[in-house]
């Protein structure tokens, strides 16, 4: 199967990444548990809106962007490597143009087992058999535009249930789910 896997909020801990940098630069003590909605950074930082937040995240004083030094979520790399033995891992991520080179470098440094990476606004345009995402915007689009695919919602505080998705709470659950679907998929193929 082709597994369409989102990066930020699913494989990469974007919240911890930007908060760590922000805390160092501005002497604050933000923690991940403060994030309960998609664009929470505008409320938690001194930036008046998300466009100012993204300008800071990308500029980094001329250095790497905030996407360059993220940590992975527990179990993500192990699970992706296990699933890559039998499936194609397709990375699908919504990134601004300025984040592309740091994203590709991060994927390489983390040894993400993929040969296919798409930095796209509309993830549904990339055909996959199963998708895993946390975006409250991408999930309904995937359900609406890929009715024959399985769409999994990685449950996070910033997303609500989406009709037509399967809720996934951690990487172990995702691995088990894919293996169950693999049996059904191979029987129908």
pLDDT in tens, 6-48: 999 999 999 999 999 999 999 999 999 999 999 999 899 999 9
pLDDT bracket for residue 182 (50, 70, 90):
confident
pTM, entire model: 0.94
| Cα Rg, the chain, nearest whole Å | 17
- Place domain 2-13+71-188 in its CATH homologous superfamily: HAD superfamily/HAD-like (3.40.50.1000)
Burial of 25 (0-12, 13-18, 19+ CB in 10 A): exposed
44: Cα within 13 Å, side-chain hemisphere: 19
Domain residue ranges in the chain: 2-13+71-188, 14-62
Here the tokens at position 86 are 């039998």
* Residue-level pLDDT at 171: 98
């Amino acid at each position: 199967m082709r597994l369409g896997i989102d990066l930020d909020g699913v494989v990469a801990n974007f919240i911890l990444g930007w908060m760590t940098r922000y805390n160092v630069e501005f002497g604050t003590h933000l923690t991940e548990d403060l994030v309960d909605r998609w664009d929470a950074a505008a409320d938690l930082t001194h930036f008046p809106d998300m466009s100012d937040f993204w300008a800071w995240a990308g500029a980094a004083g001329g250095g790497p962007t905030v996407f360059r030094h993220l940590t992975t979520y527990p179990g993500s790399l192990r699970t992706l490597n296990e699933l890559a033995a039998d499936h194609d891992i397709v990375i699908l991520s919504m990134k601004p143009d300025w984040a592309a080179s740091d994203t590709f470098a991060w994927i390489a440094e983390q040894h993400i087992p993929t040969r296919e990476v798409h930095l796209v606004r509309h993830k549904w345009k990339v055909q996959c058999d199963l998708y895993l995402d946390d975006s409250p915007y991408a999930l309904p689009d995937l359900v609406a535009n890929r009715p024959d695919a399985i769409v999994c919602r990685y449950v996070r505080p910033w997303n609500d249930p989406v009709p037509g998705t399967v809720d996934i709470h951690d990487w172990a659950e995702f691995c088990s789910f894919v293996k169950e679907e693999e049996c059904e998929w191979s029987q129908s193929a």
